[in-house]
Structure 1
């Protein structure tokens, strides 16, 4: 475990205000960054080993270094606060509790990549977050941390908070850019990549909220301090979101490499009187794991070695009352609904995944329909235009791998062996 960094102020009264943030050293890192050259800031972030916290885990400093310099074009920073993955709920609490951490990180990142305009793309449904961000940006501008000639450095930056229309596909960075430009959010063909032709066909960096919010601490305390936490290839701290059949669901800040067993100890364990059946390490788009994986290190390499992905570190916990077929069906219905329809494998594949899963859950499918379902997944994975197709297949394939007998039980009984009322998440029983 580690001392609180991102969550250090969350329990303070009015933690979201500039005054509170300043009491905790807020905007000191920005002053440090502005005293360095942009290239030195990028080098420091590279040395820290910070990896993207939005799911892919790409090295942040390397991504910033891809931005061409001296090209005569404006550069842009885009912060992805869309957070649409089922089970993922770390960015919204961070933005509500401490928006200035993100604003300071955005100012540092924009200075490093030589951008004078940054955008924070937020889901339009989270009105409270939008209001808080607008207020925080106004506070920062009034205090001289945004706007013209920040802290007398000659560097200028304007931040725009943009409300998206609420589409999962806009979590994909190029679809997000199309949405920012006023078009329908659909993924772009790559190359060119955003680093060379992103927003308005100009060099653009797209980073997740938690990634950017982690930057001020690296400036304040140094790369060596950051690397003292986590593992060699996955250094630092992060937020783990625990939800589902757990005694105390919520956000838990810890070093990368902590195990689910450790996190469950902090969260009071699986709800009283029940045991762990399966869980997701990074939201519904990551292959599910079981109680056999309680001691898997929750870093990028450890989870990959177990056959899944760390993703957004959204740990959804399911106990023995849950029907795995029903859970996977609900996720698949989400992906069918959120498919943008641009490519045939995803558009048609997600439709047929849901139709087959519905028959399997009702126990009315044929004996060969589990294999047929896997065939449909094989026709989608790696063949869709963006990663949504892969995301839709992950829970299906992994659930069959770990729980094929449960699929067969539905067919044998001619229905689901789990009464629906027993597997309701967040029931009164789960809260006790």
Structure 2
């Protein structure tokens, strides 16, 4: 079918009227975190209880995306009561339904004014917990695809690029490359065939930002990719997502099918000459395929190994054609930028790091979950205000940002603003947004070993510095943590870190030494204690205790 703006508005009105015709709306989180705690059974119990009490015409139960506070799932919220409940069980359904016209169930209450919610600013996650991820009508009712219409019918490709450039948006996949500049490069390429690729190969330990967005708001990413296709002149897009994300894959497939049926993907979108289609490609879980050229090779059906750059994918990508590659979070920012303007987005964040950033809080922190904060928010605010601090009265020791490619940021930098430049200055990176918090029970040598083992295992083996260097680094760290460290190991580690970082082929190898470098920079005394005194002050290594710092 050919969709018009009138059709879009009619769908939005019909959906809104339908939802608001119910006196109460119970939103149940059905993202992976809450589903693992049986939120699907909670939803079914609530629906059954409504039927049993004869209230199914007064109350609507909806499955929505991630509500953020994964530590206390399953989560539900009830509108218009402004009541939220935590750790809900199927057996709680009678009490919850019975309380709709009276006092809330106090033992389940989740305070909505707590810093975890009040200190966030949501752009990427603005629909999460509001829209039903499996229904395109729900997304349209929240303003979905209005930005695509605006771009196609009211703006030229150059004008869209100007807004993206003015926004200051930088790639949220890790490197922080200016999005407007990358789009401009592909836009200017003269070849007839071009492609748009969404990198959803999220592989950092402790990271679940992209997965949650795909599970909670898949149409948001599709809309961003379609706008990008229009801008750069591409008619085909690919979403490269790891096969370990079955729920995200299922909802993406459904979303793409719905968009095609409605005419949002396909030919003559919104009665324009623009045609665009999206296909999924599933990755087997190789961390190296998060690197652009390795990802391209995998989509083409070849072994996922990186190649030297230049030429960059923007000039020579899929099947030798100009290819625009951004990650999930980057594409999820595009629709609001087109709707509200680049100046609005640029007004959030810091001078060089604009907008917001989504983080996955994990590790030794009271409130694990998904958050979105303005760039420049301090680590202290994130860890202690939003995250609720460290469990069991333990002290904060460090936070690992940027995953295996990042570094450990110690307590002395808790008041540092979190942005691209500040993190780089202290030896870490923004990465895709994983934050693993460690308390004073963590052994930093063991932490470095953990991440180095990951990098060693995930190395594709194509280049010697990464293949051999990461193995040598791991072997030295393993000896040290086993109590067999030698005088001179610290100097050898530093030399190897410089060598591997300077000579590896791709970003995986170039950044693999970062956890070792940062722990040596701030916690060299722990290395010395392991080597000279054969002692682990945290009691994790030489004393034979289980590794607890990052699990």
TM-score, normalization by structure 2: 0.75
Question: Contact 1:362–1:416 at 8 Å: present in 2 too?
Answer: no
Q: What's the secondary structure of 1:67's corresponding residue?
A: helix
User: Could you tell me which of 400, 404, 407 is aligned with 1:287?
Assistant: 407
| Cross-structure match for 2:379 | 260
Q: How does 1:407-422 map to 2 (within 5 A)?
A: 407-420=527-540, 421=545
The equivalent of 1:430 in structure 2 is none
Question: For residue 263 of structure 2, what is the aligned residue in structure 1?
Answer: 144
Alignment partner of 1:377 is 2:497: yes
* Residue equivalent to 1:344: 464
Report the count of equivalent residues.
427
Do the aligned partners of 1:81 and 1:121 also contact (CA within 8 Å) in 2?
A: yes
Contact 1:240/1:251, CA 8 A, preserved across alignment: yes
Q: Find the structure with the greater CA-based Rg.
A: 2
The residue matched to 1:66 in structure 2 has which SS?
helix
* Structure 2 stretches lacking a partner, 5+ long: 1-118
4+ aligned runs moved over 6 Å, structure 1: none
Matched, 1:25 2:150: no
1:92 corresponds to: 211
Per the alignment, residue 185 of structure 1 pairs with 304
2:184 is matched with 65
Aligned pairs (5 A) from 1:374-413: 374-413=494-533
Report the Cα offset of residue 282 of structure 1. 2.1
Q: Mean alpha-carbon deviation: is it higher for 189-198 or for 56-65?
A: 189-198
1:16, 1:306 → 2: CA distance?
42
For the Cα contact (< 8 Å) 1:277–1:318, is it kept in 2? yes
Deviation at 1:412, TM superposition (A): 3.6
> Is 1:276–1:319's contact at 8 Å kept on the other side of the alignment?
yes
Deviations 1:203-229 (A, max 9, x none): 101101100110000011111111111
- What is the CA-CA distance between 1:394 and the residue it aligns to? 0.6
Take 2:346 and 2:426, find their aligned partners in 1: how far apart are those partners? 24
Q: Does 1:424 align with 2:424?
A: no
SS of corresponding position for 1:278 = strand
Q: Larger deviation: 28-37 or 82-91?
A: 82-91
CA distance in 1, matches of 2:548, 2:517: 23
Residue 320 (1) aligns with residue 444 (2): no
Query: What is the aligned partner in structure 1 of residue 127 from structure 2?
Result: 9
Tell me which of the two structures has the higher relative contact order, counting C-alpha pairs closer than 8 angstroms and 6 or more residues apart: 1
Determine helix, strand or coil for the equivalent of 2:129: coil
Deviation larger for 105-114 or 303-312: 303-312
Instruction: Measure, in 2, the Cα distance between the counterparts of 1:4 and 1:367.
Output: 50
Q: Is residue 2:325 matched to residue 1:203?
A: no
Distance 1:13 1:426 in 2: 33
Q: CA deviation at 1:409?
A: 1.4
TM-score if structure 1 supplies the norm length? 0.95
1:52 to 171, 193, 202: 171
2:355 alignment counterpart: 236
CA shift for structure 1 position 145? 0.8
- 1:423 deviates by 5.1
Aligned counterparts of 1:51 and 1:283: Cα–Cα separation in 2: 19
Q: Which runs of 5 or more residues in structure 1 are unaligned? A: 428-432
The one of 74, 78, 81 aligned to 2:193: 74
Are 2:134 and 2:254, in contact at CA under 8 Å, matched by a contact in 1? no
Pairs within 5 Å for 1:111-126: 111-126=230-245
Q: What is aligned with 2:15?
A: none
- Give the equivalent residue in structure 2 for 1:153: 272
Match status 1:360 vs 2:480: yes
Partners in 1 of 2:449 and 2:177 — Cα distance? 30
Structure 1 residue 302: Cα displacement: 2.2
Aligned partners of 1:353 and 1:266: how far apart in 2? 36
Q: Tell me the C-alpha RMSD between the 2 structures.
A: 1.6
Q: Retained in 1: the 8 A contact 2:201–2:242?
A: yes
* Structure 1 residue 288, shift from structure 2 partner: 1.4
